């Protein structure tokens, strides 16, 4: 099986090195999708429904078509004409300038039959609630999973805790909105898309337009963030392509920030009713959960319970519920922050009932050997012994507390292909149809190739973000590094072998006489000599070497374990929770680049804090629309909320590359909730933990 070099043999990988495209990005020279401008390009936009539930009766576009500057109009962008959420596509237009476009949008006259709607999770579960889909009830069939015998389990339990938790809808809103620039070259469609999956979008758009995949090319050189919301083709891309075909000109169609909030994905909410029991000695014996949640008009609001702990007898029943709101999409570790929020608080509550330290209780019930070590490392770093003070016992209005929670992740690497061309002058192109969503994939491609060839990264030109390049999957599920890294290594290995063979042939030597040595070839035997990289490549003469490689086993693995410890200060007069410090012990297998890895982990934690304390989609009950589709009132974390973060990279290089992007966002909200309890002695079981909730909880329980 393939193997990575050992750490001390590595010259580039596993160290700190800056990303290759950073200079372009800091100078504003990197062209994102929003920045692309093609000759004769039109500006496109989508008219969306202001109503959450309606039938489109008639669209009058006569005034739109007559408006100066308008070049294409579509009134059939909605597949059925039955609107199911405010923000759904109704019509589209392309015009010669942004101003003409704005004016044109106002000229559509749409007649709707406005229908009853439901936007509240619990209201939607009522038998009498309006149906989101007329042919299906709002509540979907339960999904049940179980192991062991929960009745027996609860019978064995000495202590049982039963609680209800709630988590909110979180919206991805990457800084670059969703959108595409498209152009037809004959019957070939070229799409520049802000995406996490050039190959996936290619297939999706081909299908939507009913054209062969081979006629579609998707390019994404730089894109401004996705977090799961850009994993597949959006309707807007096919709409842009149709506008472009109609107008005979390229079209840029970027969603507005508001449209991005309404219809470009979200993390579903959840209500979780959980009962859990343990024996006196601290062994978990039974777990029962009923959960439900809504992904709007989509499905999969599931919560990954019972999370990481070993419970011999457990059962989880989940129900998805439809409401008239934009569909959920995978969001950084789908289903996990929700599960961690409830389960880790249950763990603390049970520990308290048992009179055990939460750390001790976890060590007892966590089956993962890596995490067993990580818990101890993190506890040491945060100073867990300070957890002994009684909850809420600090004097004065500002109270501090400590909390902890675990993270987990599964997928590893998977099929990815790559190709490499080595030119006689020594320069190298590496092609892989992956994309860089901010994780540093472009740099990863170059660094793995350089490491394996034993040469400086300057020789390497990494080419990614184009569906013309060899297949690679979506950048999702933390699979990119474990998929792409091995594929590039495999390709480079093949290139080395091919080079060696070529040199041997040219020199008329048996290949066994030649060995690779850090970027050079050593020839043993009578005329012992060493060929430099340049000299090696000269042997290619006029024919560049091209090799293909792919993901192979042995260089990556699945399964990630980690944990976080958090210290908070809660102002009991204002309800403000301030995260003061986070210690993250991150399981990271073989780290390819420490700098970008740390950055990813920071990002995961900070998005977790944002989820814990700030973010929430608010749906108006009267109109069924989102009232805060903007960065002013949908509050995401900023500079002032960024605490001190200490990252401990728990390397296990022998495991190869694992995914690290998603796990760090899983435990943060839960750890904060546990720390808040320790600080104020009151549990918050609903996200986000905003000041109003903190104050209400404190005053209800008369803790102030």
Partner 1 sequence: MPVKKGSSGISRRDFLKGMGTTILSTAVVTGGGLVPDSATAALLDDTVETISGRVKISLRVNHKVYSVAVEPRTTLLEVLRERLGLTGAKPACNRGECGACTVLVDNQPMLACSLLAVDVRDADIITVEGLSTDDTLTAVQKAFVEKDGLMCGFCTPGFVVAATALLQKNPNPSLSEIKQGLSGNLCRCAAYPKIFEAVQQAARTMQRGK
Partner 2 sequence: MFPFEYINVRELTALPDYLEKDGEKSAILAGGTDLLGLMKEGLLKPRKVVNIKQIRELRGIRDTRKGLEIGAATRLSEIEQHPIIQQQYPVLAQAVASIATPQLRNMGTIGGNLCQRPRCWYFRGQEYHCLKKGGDMCYAVDGLNKYHAILGGGPCYIVHPSDAAPALIALGATVEIFGPQGKRTVPLEEFFQLPEDNLLRENILAPNEVVTRIFVPRPEAETRSLYLKFRERQSMDFAITSVAALVQLRNGKVQKARLVLGGVAPIPWRAREAEKILEGNSLSADRIQQAAEAALKEADPLDQNAYKVILARNLIRKAFTQLQNA
| Interacting residue ranges for ligand FES, rule: CB under 6 A | 175, 225, 438
**Residue 265 or 438 having the CB closest to ligand FES:** 438
CA–CA distance, 224 with 436 (Å, rounded to integer): 10
> In the complex, what is the shortest distance from the CB of residue 135 to ligand FES, in angstroms, rounded to a whole number?
41
Site for partner 1 in 125-184 (CB under 8 A): 173-177
Secondary structure class of 660 (helix, strand, coil): coil
Out of 139, 217, 246, 256, the only residue in the binding site for partner 1 (CB under 8 A) is 256
Q: Is there a contact between 132 and 82 (Cβ–Cβ < 8 Å)?
A: no
Is 25 or 145 the residue whose CB approaches ligand FES more closely? 25
CB of 546 to ligand FES, least distance (A): 34
Q: How many CB atoms lie within 10 A of CB 386?
A: 12
Q: Does 222 bind partner 1 (CB under 8 A)?
A: yes
* Shortest separation between residue 57's beta carbon and partner 2, angstroms: 19
Whole-number Cα distances in Å, 242 to 237, 238, 476, 694:
9, 6, 28, 50
- The residue within the footprint of partner 2, chosen from 299, 381, 628, 686 (CB under 8 A), is 628
Binding residue (CB under 8 A) for partner 2 from 60, 380, 493, 641: 641
Residue with smaller CB distance to ligand FES, 26 or 390: 26
Distance in Å, CB of 658 to ligand FES, minimum: 23
Work out whether 224 is an interface residue with partner 1 (CB under 8 A): yes
Give the whole-angstrom CA distance, residue 413 versus residue 486: 8
Nearer residue to ligand FES within complex by CB, 254 or 311: 254
227 binds, among partner 1, partner 2, ligand FES, none (CB under 5 to 8 A by kind): partner 1
Q: Name which of 218 and 255 has its Cβ closer to partner 2.
A: 255
Contact between 409 and 586 under an 8 Å Cβ cutoff? The reply is no
Of residues 36 and 405, the one with the C-beta less far from ligand FES: 36
Site for partner 2 in 205-264 (CB under 8 A): none
Does residue 638 bind partner 1 (CB under 8 A)? yes
3 burial (CB, 10 Å; 0-12 / 13-18 / 19+) is exposed
Give the span between the Cα atoms of 266 and 619, in whole angstroms: 13
The CA distance from 689 to 274, in Å, is 20
| Binding at 599: pick from partner 2, partner 1, ligand FES, none (beta carbon under 5-8 Å per type) | partner 1
**Which among ligand FES, partner 1, partner 2, none contacts residue 607 (Cβ within 5 to 8 A by kind)?**
partner 1
The whole-angstrom separation of Cα 283 and Cα 312 is 10
Instruction: Say whether residue 635 binds partner 2 (CB under 8 A).
Output: yes
3-state secondary structure of 584: strand
Least spacing, CB of residue 45 vs partner 1, in Å: 13
Q: Does 637 bind partner 2 (CB under 8 A)?
A: yes
Q: Which is nearer to ligand FES, 602 or 696 (CB)?
A: 602
Bridge partners of 400, per DSSP, are: 569
Strand-pairing partners, residue 180, are 193, 253
DSSP β-bridge partners for residue 582: 566, 645
Name the binder of 146 from partner 2, ligand FES, partner 1, none, CB < 5-8 A by kind. none
Of 165, 192, 227, 565, which one interacts with partner 1 (CB under 8 A)? 227
b/e sequence 110-132, b meaning 16+ C-beta within 10 Å: bebeebebbbbbeebbeeebbeb
Residue 437: count other Cβ atoms within 10 Å of its Cβ. 28
Closest CA to 65 of 108, 112, 32, 22: 108
| Among 195, 313, 439, 625, contact with partner 2 (rule: CB under 8 A) | 625
Which of 10, 11, 34, 147 is in the footprint of partner 1 by CB under 8 A?
A: 34
535, interface contact from partner 1, partner 2, ligand FES, none, CB < 5-8 Å by kind: none
Helix axes 594-613, 668-680, angle to 10 degrees: 50
Instruction: Select from partner 2, ligand FES, partner 1, none the partner in contact with residue 28, using the beta carbon and a kind-dependent cut-off of 5 to 8 Å.
Output: partner 1
Pick out residues in 173-212 that bind partner 1 (CB under 8 A): 173-177
Contact status: 686 vs partner 2 (CB under 8 A): no
CA neighbor of 445 nearest in space, from 425, 460, 423: 460
By CB under 8 A, residue 575 contacts partner 2:
yes
Burial class from Cβ neighbours inside 10 Å (0-12, 13-18, 19+) for residue 221 reads: buried
Nearer to ligand FES, 34 or 423 (CB): 34
Q: How far apart are alpha carbons 262 and 240 in whole angstroms?
A: 19
Per-residue contact track with partner 2, 47 to 86, x per CB under 8 A? Answer: ---x-----------------------------------x
Neighbouring-strand partners of residue 275? 162, 288
What does the alpha-carbon distance between residue 9 and residue 150 come to, in Å, rounded to a whole number? 52
Report which of 474, 508, 622, 493 is spatially closest to residue 554, judged by C-alpha positions. 493
Beta carbon nearer to partner 1, 97 or 393: 97
Residues 428-447 that bind partner 2 (CB under 8 A): none
User: What are residue 225's DSSP bridge partners?
Assistant: none
Residue in 145, 621, 644, 654 binding partner 2, rule: CB under 8 A: 621
Strands 428-431 and 460-463, by their bridges, are parallel
Dihedral (Cα; 500, 502, 503, 505), 10-degree rounding? 120
Q: Are strands 644-650 and 576-587 parallel, antiparallel or unpaired?
A: parallel
Least distance from ligand FES to the Cβ atom of residue 476, Å = 16
Q: Is 234:340 a contact under the CB 8 Å cutoff?
A: no
Strands (E), 425-559: 428-431, 460-463, 514-517, 520-523, 529-531, 545-550
87, 263 contact by CB (below 8 A): yes
Q: What is the DSSP letter of 494?
A: H
Which region, judged by CB under 8 A, interacts with partner 1, from 16-24, 389-397, 509-517, 562-570?
Answer: 16-24
- Considering only residues 99, 425, 501, 701, which one is a binding residue for partner 1 as defined by CB under 8 A? 99
Q: In whole angstroms, how close is the CB of 225 to ligand FES at the nearest point?
A: 5
Nearer to partner 1, 18 or 554 (CB): 18
* Residue 19 binding partner 1, by CB under 8 A: yes
Interface with partner 1 (CB under 8 A), residue from 14, 244, 439, 557: 439
DSSP E strands: which ranges in 231-324? 251-254, 266-267, 270-278, 284-294, 313-321
| Shortest reach from residue 335's CB to partner 2, in Å | 27
298 DSSP β-pair partners: 295
Report the partner that residue 223 touches, choosing among partner 1, partner 2, ligand FES, none (CB closer than 5 to 8 A by kind): partner 1
Nearest one of 648, 662, 665 to 605, comparing CA atoms: 665
User: Which one of residues 1, 390, 510, 639 is an interface residue with partner 1 (CB under 8 A)?
Assistant: 639
Decide: is 627 part of the binding site for partner 2 (CB under 8 A): yes
- Minimum separation from the CB atom of position 243 to ligand FES (A): 25
Among 26, 28, 632, 702, binds partner 2 (CB under 8 A): 632
| Sites of contact with partner 1 (CB under 8 A) | 18-19, 21-23, 25-32, 34-35, 37, 97-99, 173-177, 222-225, 227, 256-257, 437-440, 595-596, 598-600, 602-603, 605-607, 610, 630-632, 636-640, 642, 645
| Sites of contact with partner 2 (CB under 8 A) | 50, 86, 99, 102-103, 106, 573-576, 614, 618, 620-623, 625, 627-628, 630, 632-633, 635, 637-641, 690-692, 695-696, 699
């Amino acid at each position: 099986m393939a193997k990575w070099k050992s750490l001390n043999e590595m010259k580039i990988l596993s160290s700190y090195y800056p990303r290759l495209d950073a200079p372009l990005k800091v100078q504003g020279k990197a062209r994102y999708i929003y920045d692309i401008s093609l000759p004769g390009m039109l500006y496109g936009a989508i008219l969306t429904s202001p109503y959450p539930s309606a039938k489109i009766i008639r669209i009058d576009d006569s005034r739109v078509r007559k408006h100066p500057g308008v070049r294409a109009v579509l009134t059939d962008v909605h597949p059925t004409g039955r609107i199911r959420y405010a923000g759904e596509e109704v019509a589209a237009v392309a015009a010669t300038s942004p101003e003409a476009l704005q004016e044109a949008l106002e000229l559509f006259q749409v007649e709707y039959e406005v229908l009853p709607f439901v936007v509240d999770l619990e209201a939607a579960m009522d038998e009498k609630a309006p149906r989101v889909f007329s042919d299906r009830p709002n509540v979907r069939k339960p999904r049940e999973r179980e192991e062991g015998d929960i009745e027996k389990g609860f019978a064995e339990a000495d202590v049982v805790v039963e609680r209800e938790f709630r988590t909110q809808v979180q919206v991805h809103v990457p800084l670059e909105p969703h959108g595409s620039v498209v152009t037809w070259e004959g019957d070939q469609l070229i799409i520049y898309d802000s995406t996490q999956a050039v190959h996936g979008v290619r297939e999706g758009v081909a299908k939507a337009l009913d054209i062969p995949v081979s006629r579609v090319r998707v390019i994404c050189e730089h894109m401004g963030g996705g977090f799961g919301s850009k994993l597949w083709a959006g309707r807007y891309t096919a709409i842009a392509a149709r506008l472009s075909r109609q107008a005979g000109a390229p079209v840029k169609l970027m969603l507005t920030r508001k449209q991005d909030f309404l219809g470009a994905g979200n993390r579903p909410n959840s209500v979780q009713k959980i009962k859990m029991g343990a024996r006196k000695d601290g062994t978990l014996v039974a777990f029962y959960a009923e959960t439900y949640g809504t992904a709007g008009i989509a499905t999969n609001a599931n919560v990954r319970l019972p999370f990481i702990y070993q419970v011999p007898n457990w059962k989880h029943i989940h129900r998805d519920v439809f409401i008239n709101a934009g569909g959920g999409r995978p969001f950084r570790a789908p289903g996990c922050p929700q599960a961690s929020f409830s389960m880790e608080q249950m763990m603390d509550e049970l520990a308290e009932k048992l009179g055990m330290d939460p750390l001790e209780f976890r060590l007892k019930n966590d089956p993962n050997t890596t995490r067993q070590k990580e818990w101890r490392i993190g506890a040491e770093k945060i100073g867990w012994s300070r957890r002994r003070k009684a909850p809420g016992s600090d004097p004065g209005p500002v109270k501090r507390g400590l909390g902890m929670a675990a993270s987990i992740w599964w997928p590893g690497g998977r099929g990815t292909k790559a190709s490499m061309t080595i030119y006689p002058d020594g320069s190298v192109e590496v092609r892989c149809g992956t994309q860089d969503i901010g994780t540093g994939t472009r740099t990863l491609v170059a660094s793995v190739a350089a490491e394996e060839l034993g040469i400086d990264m300057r020789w390497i030109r990494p080419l990614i973000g184009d569906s013309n390049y060899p297949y690679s999957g979506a950048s999702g599920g933390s699979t990119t590094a474990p998929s792409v890294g091995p594929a590039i290594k495999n390709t480079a290995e093949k290139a080395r072998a091919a080079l060696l063979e070529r040199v041997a042939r040219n020199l008329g030597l048996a290949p066994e006489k030649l060995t690779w040595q850090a970027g050079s070839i050593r020839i043993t035997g009578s005329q012992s000599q060493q060929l430099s990289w340049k000299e090696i490549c000269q042997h290619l003469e006029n024919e560049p070497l091209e090799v293909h490689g792919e993901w192979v086993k042995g260089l990556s693995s699945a399964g990630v374990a980690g944990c976080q410890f958090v210290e908070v200060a809660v102002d009991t007069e204002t309800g403000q929770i301030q995260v003061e410090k986070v210690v993250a012990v991150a399981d990271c297998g073989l780290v390819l680049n420490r700098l970008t890895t740390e950055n990813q982990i920071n990002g995961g934690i900070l998005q977790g804090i944002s989820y814990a304390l700030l973010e929430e989609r608010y749906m108006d009950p009267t109109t069924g629309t989102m009232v805060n589709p903007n960065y002013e009132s949908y509050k995401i974390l900023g500079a002032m909320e960024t605490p001190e973060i200490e990252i401990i990279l728990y390397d296990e290089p022998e495991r190869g590359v694992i995914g690290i992007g998603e796990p760090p966002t899983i435990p943060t909200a839960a750890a904060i909730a546990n720390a808040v309890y320790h600080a104020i002695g009151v549990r918050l079981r609903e996200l986000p933990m905003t000041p109003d909730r903190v104050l209400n909880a404190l005053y209800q329980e008369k803790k102030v």
